[in-house]
Amino acid sequence: MRVLIVGAGIAGPTLTYWLQRFGHEATIVEHAPQLRAGGYVVDFWGAGYDVAERMGILPRLQDEGYHVREAREVSRSGRRITHFDPQRVVGLSGGRYITIGRSDLARAIYDAADGTVETVFGDTVTALHDDGGRVQVEFEHGTPREFDLVVGADGLHSRVRRLVFGPEAEFERDLGITVAAFDVAQYRPRDDLVAVMHTEVGHQVLRLALHDDATMFCIMFRHDGQLPQDDPAAQQDLLRRSLAGVGWEVPAILEQLPQARTFYMDRASQILMPSWSRGRVGLIGDAAAAPSLLAGQGSALAMIEAYVLAHELHEAHGDHRTAFSAYQQRLAAPVRGKQDAAIGMGAAFAPRNRMQLLLRDAVFGLMTVPPIAKIAIGRSLVDPIHLPPVPVS
């Protein structure tokens, strides 16, 4: 089959890898002019980790990742309030847990695919006509082409989803939290391999030193109004206004905004769809079922969904109806479980009131006690997802 994959993030290249392994021809179209670099880091474990292992990329991920040794909560004055060793969490996962730059993960996956994959950067789809036998695809820049299948792996604000399934508002669950993430060079202090957090009512600011003397900041805050779209300057103004008066290093961190190497800001939201496919068009990753960063597993789910879809297409000998249906049947319930569990996590990142803040700090403090850490986190480290074995082709 000739499959067009829209989006070269985490899900798209994973699907490319597995489709190629099963003898299909994949073309990727990616809006950005090249693979993205820098940006925020993701924690990565569970069945997604198993997919990465099956792709042979674990040594590279371990090498490029971060072995964070302390998660530290600090007061307005920077005094350590409480802390725990995240390696305990890693231990609970049997060592199968990686913290890595999202763009490093995406690139490692992309590099694992056969170097002959056709990737069209700087373009996107503008229309998809499914005539039952093929999909005629129109592009913003390229000439129209025909594919057997089109898979949208184009993230939370998927254009494929909008073109084929309907407007985003029909599928979005807004979690009421806005997230900003950016990275800068040569920020001080660094505190290597320590995730330093400052949490007040309504927001949390996290600092993590990255490789090559870079530092990442991830800020979550409650904001009910409209978010300026596609306007980083207006978004940064909103961030400054929202964090005015916040203690710790926050004024110095906000001063770094003009020097930011990458800047991301968006609502934390989820995508819930009754069906992940229509005719010859399917969705994977955030486009199909974003769990939000509060779930901490969007990357892993994106890889799982890509692997399972490729597997089902192989098992169904290319019968896309059977494959799309089996793909959704296998994953819809566990993915929905992760999405629902994430809703309750908002209070841990941006407590609504003083009571939630105190409760959050108390739970954070108790994470130093191994049995409590096991109860609090252990279960979420076990995926209720059974990965089908790699078919023998």
Ligand X SMILES: Cc1cc2nc3c(=O)[nH]c(=O)nc-3n(C[C@H](O)[C@H](O)[C@H](O)COP(=O)(O)OP(=O)(O)OC[C@H]3O[C@@H](n4cnc5c(N)ncnc54)[C@H](O)[C@@H]3O)c2cc1C
Verify binding: residue 100, ligand X, rule CB under 6 A: no
- From residue 169, give the alpha-carbon distance in Å to each of 50, 235, 269, 317: 33, 21, 11, 35
CB 33 to ligand X: min, Å: 10
CB 218 to ligand X: min, Å: 5
Q: How many angstroms separate the CA atoms of 261 and 248, rounded?
A: 23
Bridge partners of residue 200, in order along the sequence:
203
Bridge partners of residue 172, in order along the sequence:
271
**What number of other Cβ atoms are within 10 A of residue 255's Cβ?**
12
Q: Which is nearer to ligand X, 7 or 65 (CB)?
A: 7
Judged on CB neighbours under 10 Å (0-12, 13-18, 19+), 82 is middle
Interface residues for ligand X in 324-363 (CB under 6 A)? Answer: none
Contact 293, 313 (CB under 8 A): no
Interface residues for ligand X in 193-252 (CB under 6 A)? Answer: 218
Strand pairing of 194-200 and 262-271? unpaired
Verify binding: residue 183, ligand X, rule CB under 6 A: no
Q: Which is nearer to ligand X, 219 or 326 (CB)?
A: 219
Verify binding: residue 179, ligand X, rule CB under 6 A: yes
Mapped onto helix, strand or coil, the DSSP state of residue 238 is: helix
Verify binding: residue 370, ligand X, rule CB under 6 A: no
Can you tell me which of 24, 83, 102, 207 binds ligand X, judged by CB under 6 A? 102
Residue whose entry in the numeric block shows the structure tokens 């040794």? 69
CB 119 to ligand X: min, Å: 11
Verify binding: residue 271, ligand X, rule CB under 6 A: no
Q: How many angstroms separate the CA atoms of 366 and 12, rounded?
A: 39
Q: How many angstroms separate the CA atoms of 328 and 345, rounded?
A: 25
Can you tell me which of 30, 200, 249, 383 binds ligand X, judged by CB under 6 A? 30
CB 134 to ligand X: min, Å: 20
Q: Which is nearer to ligand X, 42 or 308 (CB)?
A: 42
Interface residues for ligand X in 133-172 (CB under 6 A)? Answer: 153-155, 159
H/E stretch holding 351 reads none
Verify binding: residue 286, ligand X, rule CB under 6 A: yes
Piece of 35-43, 224-232, 325-333, 347-355 that binds ligand X (CB under 6 A): 35-43
CB 282 to ligand X: min, Å: 13
Q: Which is nearer to ligand X, 9 or 346 (CB)?
A: 9
Can you tell me which of 9, 65, 346, 351 binds ligand X, judged by CB under 6 A? 9
CB 103 to ligand X: min, Å: 9
Verify binding: residue 300, ligand X, rule CB under 6 A: yes
DSSP annotation string for 90-129: HHHTTT-EEEEEHHHHHHHHHHHS-TT-EEEES--EEEEE
Q: Which is nearer to ligand X, 122 or 391 (CB)?
A: 122
Q: Which is nearer to ligand X, 85 or 322 (CB)?
A: 85
DSSP collapsed to 3 states, 266-295: EEEEEECCCCCEECCEEECCHHHHCCCHHH
Verify binding: residue 298, ligand X, rule CB under 6 A: yes
Q: Which two tokens stand for residue 368?
A: 């130093």
Crossing angle of helices 102-112/298-315, nearest 10°? 20
Can you tell me which of 20, 235, 299, 380 binds ligand X, judged by CB under 6 A? 299
Which amino acid, residue 186?
Q
Half-sphere exposure of 28 toward its Cβ, with a 13 Å CA cutoff?
31
Verify binding: residue 38, ligand X, rule CB under 6 A: no
Can you tell me which of 3, 4, 15, 42 binds ligand X, judged by CB under 6 A? 42
Contact 127, 163 (CB under 8 A): yes
Q: Which is nearer to ligand X, 107 or 330 (CB)?
A: 107
Verify binding: residue 32, ligand X, rule CB under 6 A: yes
Q: How many angstroms separate the CA atoms of 118 and 102, rounded?
A: 22
Contact 7, 153 (CB under 8 A): yes
H/E stretch holding 102 reads helix 102-112
CB 98 to ligand X: min, Å: 10
Q: Which is nearer to ligand X, 22 or 263 (CB)?
A: 263
Q: Which two tokens stand for residue 51?
A: 């997919």
Number of residues that this document lists for the chain: 393
Verify binding: residue 31, ligand X, rule CB under 6 A: yes
- Interface residues toward ligand X, by CB under 6 A: 6-12, 29-32, 40, 42-44, 102, 124, 153-155, 159, 179, 181, 218, 264, 285-287, 290, 293, 296-300, 302
